[in-house]
Structure 1
Amino acid sequence: MDIDTDNSLERHVAGLFKRLDRLAALAEAALGTSAGEEPDWRHAIAFRWQRGAGPFGAAQLHAITDPALIPFDELCNVERQMDVIRQNTRQFVMGYPANNVLLTGARGTGKSSLVKACLHAFAPEGLRLIEVGKESLDDLPVILDRVRHRPERFLIFCDDLSFESGETGYKGLKTVLDGSVAGHSSNVLIYATSNRRHLLAEDARDNEGYSVAENGELHPGDAVEEKISLSERFGIWVTFYAFSQDQYLEVVAQRLGMLGFTTAQIEAAHQPALQWALARGARSGRIAMQFAQDYAGRLACAEREVSSEVR
């Protein structure tokens, strides 16, 4: 075989490999199995773990370009909880021992906001946040492997976490909280929020498993032990409670003040604010913020209409 023939064969083989690479890339894009590019670690502080498109879509880290953050000083009536979480996060960012945190309690009382406040406060010191949905908990070991050797400190944020009877996704979370064979990742903590203290649904029939010892001590059955064991794997529990009327009005006043309302205008809003909470059936920071948004918007519209009529 002469030199020209050899060169022609090499070019043919090289062209074939290029076409195969393009076909593989198209197949990965169609099936959603491509690993994708690394996220922009330097310019983003928050990320979301999301499934790709396609029937076999692989999950990827996506940078959140404009994360919703809140400063600590804009939070009301959660000072005790704030102190605990801020101190734990400070230890973690400084490279000292710290605990995974479970934030439980009443809806809308600031659980998620406190986690976002941690990111706002400590992002300049290298803190990063990765939001992981309940449906992706089995991917936690993969996420840990992705960030294990990075210099940043990562909070894995599982928001509004709870499991119904029959769901098994919590087992992946238990494994990571305990530490797998691969070892604990010192630059990762898990912060989870839930309306349930033990994360798992509790049924009346669970009580049937209790047994009484000879000395009269009451021992929980396997079902109860299984449910308690998940929350016990979090080193810190922080509980949030429903707001009193005064606490609710304090948040209303703060939010309206941030929107430019005077003291007199805020006092005039107390009764509408209480009526708003009564209609919603609860008092919380979230409901106070929603009232402030609605009240300020309605007043602004009314003032504009009056101004237009005068002209």
Structure 2
Amino acid sequence: MSDQGDPLARIADALERLAGALPAMPDWTAAPAYVWDRSGARAVANLAAPSLDLLQGIDAQKALVTANVARLAAGHAAHDMLLWGARGMGKSALLRASVIAAQDRDPAALALVQVAPDASAALPGLFAALGGEQRRFLVFIDDLGFAEGDSEGSRALRSWLEGGVDARPGNVRLAVTANRRAIVSRHAGEQAISSREEGPINPRDAVDDKLALADRFGLSIGFHVCSQDDYLAIVGGYCASHGLSWDQGEALEWAKRRGARSGRVAWQFVTELAGRAGQSL
């Protein structure tokens, strides 16, 4: 305990209270995955994902992601990845499944670290912790988006990807999922080049500054709404894996009522079938 009669000790105690406790850090070699939030990091004992062969309709995307994750796990040159496009088409599931496949070959080589939505600003602290480890890490930001007018967030991410003094270390790569390739929203008015200056910065320049973020990723992989055949193949694969019988017409009606065909909608239909059959998944 500090000597409360000592002015320097009182000042030190006050500074410690203002700074708060240091973020908690786990054993970075002990788990297949971790979650990073504002309180620090915690280990996840079991990393869950569909097997790679059940992720159908995205064969080209699957080949790119699994190869890149395998390179990272092996300690070879690997890219940061932006997975963008249609909702429910397996972007985050593919990342998790690719990490599991790499861990099947060598559990100690690679871990997934998912960043909570409220913890992106604390990424430099995470990078500092991971940079001292021998293990490789895929840092995963799911469903990334920036609020209207938020230019600092996109600039920070660009700095972390390359060029900044707090850029991610060599044993870390970033994987981001987003609904848009540019990550940020675009409005119709942003598409037109203004014929006059509006303030000190041309509006088109501001838009281009945001769009430049996507260029920092070595792999930018698009996911698109699946066809009817792909949707039925996904349903069929899941049902075969879990021993469920199904009807093609009912599967199509399920998608029609939800206004979409995707891997997520297919899984929801399979969940319905399993529930009716009294089966767990």
TM range (shorter): 0.7 to 0.9
SS in 1 for 2:119: helix
Who is 1:5 aligned against? none
Matched, 1:228 2:211: yes
* CA 279–182 in structure 1, closer or farther in 2 if over 3 Å, else same: closer
Q: 2:41 is aligned with what amino acid?
A: L
Who is 2:184 aligned against? 200
Tell me, in whole angstroms, the C-alpha distance in 1 between the residues paired with 2:271 and 2:167: 47
Tell me, in whole angstroms, the C-alpha distance in 1 between the residues paired with 2:4 and 2:117: 45
Tell me, in whole angstroms, the C-alpha distance in 2 between the residues paired with 1:257 and 1:144: 42
TM-score (norm 2): 0.84
Q: How many angstroms does 1:133 deviate by? A: 3.0
Tell me, in whole angstroms, the C-alpha distance in 2 between the residues paired with 1:194 and 1:239: 10
Query: CA offsets, 1:264-295, max 9 Å, x none?
Result: x33xx211111110010000001001101112
Unmatched 5+ residue regions in structure 2? 196-202
Contact 2:29–2:135 (Cα < 8 Å) also in 1 = no
Higher RCO (C-alpha under 8 Å, 6+ residues apart):
2
Who is 2:278 aligned against? 300
The 5 A counterparts of 1:259-274 are 259-261=242-244, 265-266=245-246, 269-274=247-252
Q: 1:240 is aligned with what amino acid?
A: F
Bigger Cα Rg: 1
Who is 2:266 aligned against? 288
Tell me, in whole angstroms, the C-alpha distance in 2 between the residues paired with 1:186 and 1:198: 25
Matched, 1:133 2:116: yes
SS in 2 for 1:300: coil
Q: Percent identity?
A: 34
Tell me, in whole angstroms, the C-alpha distance in 2 between the residues paired with 1:129 and 1:82: 17
Tell me, in whole angstroms, the C-alpha distance in 2 between the residues paired with 1:113 and 1:148: 26
SS in 2 for 1:85: helix
1:106 counterpart (86, 90, 104)? 86
Q: How many angstroms does 1:98 deviate by? A: 1.4
Tell me, in whole angstroms, the C-alpha distance in 2 between the residues paired with 1:13 and 1:290: 58
Tell me, in whole angstroms, the C-alpha distance in 1 between the residues paired with 2:81 and 2:72: 12
Where has structure 1 moved over 4 Å in runs of 4 or more? 12-17
Richer in helix (by share): 1
Contact 2:235–2:266 (Cα < 8 Å) also in 1 = yes
1:42 counterpart (4, 23, 29)? 29
Unmatched 5+ residue regions in structure 1? 1-11, 53-59, 212-219, 302-311
The 5 A counterparts of 1:1-311 are 33-52=20-39, 60-123=40-103, 124-167=107-150, 168-182=152-166, 185-209=169-193, 221-261=204-244, 265-266=245-246, 269-300=247-278
Q: 2:180 is aligned with what amino acid?
A: R
Q: How many angstroms does 1:63 deviate by? A: 1.0
Tell me, in whole angstroms, the C-alpha distance in 2 between the residues paired with 1:232 and 1:210: 24
Contact 1:134–1:169 (Cα < 8 Å) also in 2 = no
User: What is the RMSD of the two structures over their aligned residues, measured on CA atoms?
Assistant: 2.8
Tell me, in whole angstroms, the C-alpha distance in 1 between the residues paired with 2:277 and 2:231: 21
SS in 1 for 2:208: helix
Q: How many angstroms does 1:296 deviate by? A: 2.2
Tell me, in whole angstroms, the C-alpha distance in 1 between the residues paired with 2:108 and 2:59: 23
* CA 299–176 in structure 1, closer or farther in 2 if over 3 Å, else same: same
Q: How many angstroms does 1:32 deviate by? A: 9.1
TM-score (norm 1): 0.77
Q: How many angstroms does 1:66 deviate by? A: 2.8
